[in-house]
Amino acid sequence: MIAQILFFSLLYVVGLLVATAVKGRVPLMFIAITGFLWGSLIWVLLVICLLILGVPLTATSTGLGLLLLTGAALVWHIRRGSWQHIAGQAWRGSAGIAGLMFIIIVVIAQFNNSIVSPDSTYMLQTASQLISDGLADHVVADLSSRSIFLPAMHSAANLFGMDYFYSLQPLYFSIFCLTFVYLAVMAMAHIGVSRPWQSIILLTVGIVWFSSYFVIYQALYIHTNFNSGLYLLVGIGCFWLAHTTTQQDWLLLGAAAMIGFTLWRVEAPLFAVLFLGIWFAGNQVPYRSRWQSIMVYSVPVFIWYAVLWLRLGSLETVHLDPMRVVLILLAIAGLNGVVFFSNRAWLYRWLLRFRLVLLVAGLTLVLLVLVYLKGWHMWESFLNLIDDMLPLRGWWWGGIWLFAGVSLAYLLLNQLLRRRPFLPLEFYFLTTTLVFYQMMLALVFLRRNPYYVGLQDSGNRMLAHILPLILFYLVLKWAWTLKQANAAERTTSQ
Amino acid sequence: MPGRNLHWGFSLPIIIMAMVAVALNINTPISFSELHKPLPDDTLRTLANSYTTSRVSAPHYFKDFYTAQTLITTQAALDAVPISANTLTRDSRLEAVQLIPQPPVVIAETATCEALVAQALAALRLRDGGTLYFLTGDAVDMAVVLLPLCRADYIVLPQTQLESLP
């Protein structure tokens, strides 16, 4: 228990130090809430570096690595004099949040209510194998099936003589709740909704969230899906704020969050590339910021997948084979190419400004071909996904999807009927969501069996990636609609 | 305050929808209290200790436990522990359990087999008042993880799986 508390606190501090060094004008409070996310991402990247260099993962090697990073961040802070900059901000509130984070870390370490499935145990096995075998062939094969983030995090438990960190998942869940509230409040304040209404909106979404069985299940379930969704929410939330507040420093953190999203799941790079294409290939934010952020995302991800490609060879794998890894590498390279040339006026005029429509239309076409090739398989998967989401055959999500779907439909209908303006970058949100579902369906083509109705179906679990983002969009849309209603009433009364 | 009534009027359908969702959320066949049962610290210790150095094939790994544990068929497990209708509704595929023929049980389709194992095991764990595990995955893989994962007194396997053991 003490080991967990110490390790998580250490990662939190490292995350705070590094993130405050790169945060720019991003509020300190946000860094204080998400410090552990950056700390755990840094840990995973450190593990990847050591594995690639062939350095055994020991307490000494990883401790030295963390020490070096912390030292570098401290030097950066001292040279930049950033303490004075931080002191000028509302640091008391952030210090309070940091204190709360430590309390959360200590409290949740008292209980082990973990839920595990075979997938969990495989990943925990891989975690221990990372320590004992490094990047041996069987470890590479496992990592190509279930990705590296979760094994890398739990590998530290082995260094402390534990099998796994039972409070890791509750910690991510706690951070999710705080992050969601913070991002939502930031965005609603930017839209201009009053404090009481911010509270009402969050309270309404909150009671639905916390009463859903499968949501609470995610707080205890040792797996990748919910955490992947957490990083995705942070990524897209940061992108939205970067686009709408003109503070491009959000972009960098968003891109870093997308690395986290990508490293949680093997199929995630494909989703990430498309999402980044949606948000980065436009011209709303300066070219330089876009280009920097996309490089921050691409370099570590590209290196990791290149290493996988070099090592996979003829290994017997479940999900990734060399050809699929090449496709992922090409997709990342293609994304970089698109963003690199996105400042060309002709390219934007003739292609990139239609990218949302082209993307959805292209994926629809692909899906039609896949349906033609495997009709029953695809149709069954689609129907089962619907069943998973609704409390008809599947009960695990409860009414949360129904709530999100009906509420969004109501808000959209209201907007269309009253001819009110759209939420800023609303089509980005809509396209991100639509593309997610399209990709999910496209991926099932590669599976032996269709998605099925069940708690543990990977399709059902993957819904946890997008649910936080949909709820975030709902919050923004609701707030935006109220604001528009206010504006319309003022215009009428004048 | 301008717009306050307008806001309430406009937001009411969403708030009502939220209440409906909460009602649906709470109406689950399984109690939330299932999630509060603590997992012993060493639940996965056996697994971690015995699986550190090399990847081994499932049957070989299973053999290590073969003599130490009691193996029973799915049917025997189901006979031993009546499964309540409540647990059967958890997954529509589990309705297949009701159609189990007399032993030997021959299960051709992986998903059904998986459901059988999970269902029978869940019933055993429920009887013992232990934590309920939701299990998935390929049937042979199930055998690999079941013993160390649950430290079960019984491992439930379809007859065909038993016969294929070394």
Phi, psi of A114 (to 5 degrees): -55, 145
pLDDT for position A366? 95
| Shortest Cα distance, chain A CAs vs residue B1, angstroms | 11
Please answer yes or no on whether B26 and A398 come within 8 Å at the CB atom: yes
Among the partner-chain residues B11, B22, B92, the one whose CB lies closest to the CB of A453 is B92
> Is-contact A129 A142, C-beta < 8 A?
yes
> Is-contact A445 A373, C-beta < 8 A?
yes
> What one-character-per-residue DSSP string does A465-492 give?
HHHHHHHHHHHHHHHHHHHHHHHHHHHH
pTM: 0.81
> Is-contact A17 A77, C-beta < 8 A?
yes
How many CB atoms are closer than 10 A to CB A233? 24
Q: Which value does ipTM take for this structure?
A: 0.86
Among the partner-chain residues B35, B45, B135, the one whose CB lies closest to the CB of A163 is B45
| Shortest Cα distance, chain A CAs vs residue B26, angstroms | 6
Please answer yes or no on whether B20 and A403 come within 8 Å at the CB atom: yes
CA–CA dist A74, A136 (Å, integer): 35
Asked if A225 has any chain B CB less than 8 Å from its own CB, the reply is: no
| Shortest Cα distance, chain A CAs vs residue B142, angstroms | 7
CA–CA dist A288, A302 (Å, integer): 20
Return the sign of the alpha-carbon dihedral for residues A215, A217, A218, A219.
Answer: positive
Asked if A267 has any chain B CB less than 8 Å from its own CB, the reply is: no
B2 neighbourhood in chain A, CB within 8 Å = 486, 489-490, 493
CA–CA dist A11, A43 (Å, integer): 7
**In b/e form, how buried is each residue of A129-144, taking b as 16+ CB within 10 angstroms?**
bbbbbbbbbbbbbbbb
Please answer yes or no on whether B25 and A453 come within 8 Å at the CB atom: no
Asked if A145 has any chain B CB less than 8 Å from its own CB, the reply is: no
Helix axis angle for A225-245 and A268-280, nearest 10°, is: 10
A396 neighbourhood in chain B, CB within 8 Å = 28
A402 neighbourhood in chain B, CB within 8 Å = 17, 20-21, 24
pLDDT for position B22? 93
**Confidence bin at B30 (pLDDT 50/70/90):** low
A420 neighbourhood in chain B, CB within 8 Å = none
The first and second tokens of residue A377, run together, are 């398989």
CB pairs under 8 A between A and B: 177
Local confidence pLDDT in tens for the 494 residues of chain A: 788 888 988 999 899 888 888 766 778 888 889 999 999 999 999 999 999 999 999 999 999 999 998 888 888 888 877 666 665 556 677 788 888 888 888 888 777 777 766 577 678 778 888 888 888 888 888 888 888 999 999 999 888 877 778 889 999 999 999 999 999 999 999 898 989 999 999 999 999 999 998 898 888 888 899 999 999 999 999 998 888 887 788 889 999 999 999 999 999 999 999 999 998 887 778 888 888 899 999 999 999 999 999 988 777 777 788 889 999 999 999 999 988 888 888 888 888 888 889 999 999 999 999 999 988 889 988 988 998 898 877 778 889 999 999 999 999 998 888 888 888 888 998 999 999 999 999 999 988 778 877 777 788 899 999 999 999 999 999 999 998 877 776 776 66
> Is-contact A202 A475, C-beta < 8 A?
yes
Coil/strand/helix, residue B70:
strand
Please answer yes or no on whether B22 and A211 come within 8 Å at the CB atom: yes
CA–CA dist A134, A374 (Å, integer): 40
Asked if A160 has any chain B CB less than 8 Å from its own CB, the reply is: no
Instruction: Name the amino acid, one letter, at A319.
Output: H
